[in-house]
Structure 1
Amino acid sequence: MTHGPAAASGEDAARAEQDAIIAALTPVVDGIAATFGSFCEVVVHDFRRPERSVVALAGSVTGRGVGGSMSEIGMKLLAAGDEADDELNYLTRTRDGKLVKSSTMVLRDSAGTAFGALCVNLDVTAVNQAHALIGGLAGVTSVPETPPTTTFADDITAVLDSIVDARQLRQNKPWAQLTREERLDLFRDLDRQGVFAVRGAVQQVAARLGISRASAYNYLAATRTG
């Protein structure tokens, strides 16, 4: 392992390259959003600051601003690290009912390090409604799949709470009724989703579950060493 000034110099060079890529993309988001119109939002995320990952934004679909946080999709990419893959043409629904078609493309530096993402969000609610209307008039009906609800927020707290709550609902039992293995599985799953990459997440998860911070750290440590 390399230590000392050489390692620091390499880290500084990598950070400078990553900063340059983000700076180059910042004006691009305006051009993409202008091309697609008012139903488009383009976001640049910096994974190095997950609590406020939105560093550039044009358009308004999710209601976030610069300094806002990443969604559950971004958290999963963050957890995947350099193994993260682009997520293309996926549908989600916002908390206020908008149907959003998105593509999230991972940003990498010359060493292949994943450090951010460029995300394009299209509000296709009206298109979906028109499609249903035309299908009804033509006598062609189908039951579409319900896209998952995604939390888009400026505050990472809301995103983390949503992930924990969704995981608890799938468990279908309160924390007090979970076995130790089920509790470890819950923490293991949250870790896979990138929750604990966020500063202060352990304390927040503990509060959401109604357990002590020490207990939360112990469960997390057990999942990583077991």
Structure 2
Amino acid sequence: MRKSTWEREHESLLAQVMQIADGLGQTFAPFCEVVVHDLRDPGHAILAIHNNLSGRAVGDPATELGLARIADEDYPQLLANYPNQFGDGRRAKSTSVGIKDSSGRYIAALCLNVDLNLFRGIQNVLEQFCRASGVGAKESLDPANAEAIRERIDQYAMSLSTTPQALKTEHRRALMQELKQAGFLEVRKSMEIIAAHLGVSRATVYNDTK
């Protein structure tokens, strides 16, 4: 069946957006999640997701922002650097760009979500690197603090140029040994804290500790 002019235009626009998303994803890995939404199919809107930080998948539905664009052609085309939050509570900074066809109708959206927790980890690494007073590592000053555990995990993931949620099994096991040697596993509810930050079950954390 021959495609209509609108179908050809939409396919061309989406193909270009997919390429842009791929380029942005490769450039800003692993700090920035890049998502392409097809607003013509809100129930299965996600067409592509690079550097998956939110745990979503291709075929997942549109967000509230996407639905708002579908309902209102006058909805802002660019929303930049607005505060956001991932499902597990991690803070994020997001930018969303609406894509319109020649009739002015929203057909897609290109969204970028930056995990601010990762940059907090980078900041901690830089502070430690620049420290010249001879003071020990930051986490050793307060080993019973849950934030210290999360920061140690962030630092470990950063050393591998990845995110805590994307650590492979062998890397998680090496991380657990580091946390054990540093005394973090003695902290009350440490397993729950670690499992939540890695995005895995407590059973997986216990298994990785063996």
Partner residue in 1 for 2:111: 119
1:212-223 matches, within 5 Å, as none
Q: Is the contact between residue 54 and residue 87 of structure 2 (CA under 8 Å) also seen in structure 1?
A: no
Give 2:56's match in structure 1, choosing from 50, 64, 68.
64
Q: Does 2:81 align with 1:92?
A: no
CA contact (8 A) 1:46 1:55 kept: yes
Query: For structure 1, which runs of at least 5 residues remain unmatched after alignment?
Result: 1-8, 135-226
Instruction: Find the counterpart in structure 1 of residue 44 from structure 2.
Output: 52
- Which of 5, 29, 40 aligns to 1:37? It is 29
Please, what is the CA RMSD of the aligned residues?
2.6
User: What SS is found at the alignment partner of 1:102?
Assistant: strand
Q: CA deviation at 1:32?
A: 0.4
* 1:18 matched to 2:14: no
Q: What is the CA deviation profile of residues 62-99 of structure 1, one whole-angstrom value per residue up to 9, with x for unaligned ones?
A: 1112111222222222222x112121111111220111
Partner of 1:83: 74
- The 5-angstrom pairing of residues 164-203 of structure 1 reads none
Q: TM-score, normalised by structure 1?
A: 0.49
Kept after mapping to 2: 8 A contact 1:101/1:122: yes
* Preserved contact between residue 38 and residue 108 of structure 2 (Cα < 8 Å): yes
**% same residue:** 31
Match of 1:216 in 2: none
Offset of 1:127 from its aligned partner? 2.5
Q: Greater relative contact order: 1 or 2 (C-alpha under 8 angstroms, separation 6 or more)?
A: 1
> 1:111, CA displacement in angstroms?
2.1
The 10-residue stretch of structure 1 (89-98 or 67-76) with the greater mean CA deviation from structure 2? 67-76
Partner residue of 1:106? 98
SS in 2 for 1:16: helix
How far apart are residue 31 of structure 1 and its match? 1.2
- In 1, the alpha carbon distance for the partners of 2:5 and 2:40 equals 15
Q: Which residue of 1 aligns with 2:198?
A: none
Question: Could you report, residue by residue, the CA deviation over 1:175-217 in whole angstroms, capped at 9, with x for unpaired residues?
Answer: xxxxxxxxxxxxxxxxxxxxxxxxxxxxxxxxxxxxxxxxxxx
8 Å CA contact retained: 1:84, 1:114:
no
Letter in 2 for 1:29: A
Aligned residue pairs total: 125
Whole-Å separation in 1 of the counterparts to 2:95 and 2:51:
15
- Cα distance between partner residues in 1 of 2:26 and 2:121: 24
Amino acid at match of 1:112: G
Give runs of ≥4 in structure 1 deviating > 4 Å: 128-134
SS of structure 2 residue aligned to 1:125? helix
Distance 2:13 2:122 in 1: 39
Distance in 2, matches of 1:55 and 1:29, equals 11
Structure-1 separation of matches of 2:69 and 2:115 = 22
What is the CA-CA distance between 1:108 and the residue it aligns to?
0.8
| Separation (CA, whole Å) in 1 of partners of 2:124 and 2:30 | 22
> For residue 74 of structure 2, what is the amino acid of its counterpart?
E
Structure 2 SS opposite 1:38: coil
Deviation at 1:61, TM superposition (A): 1.3
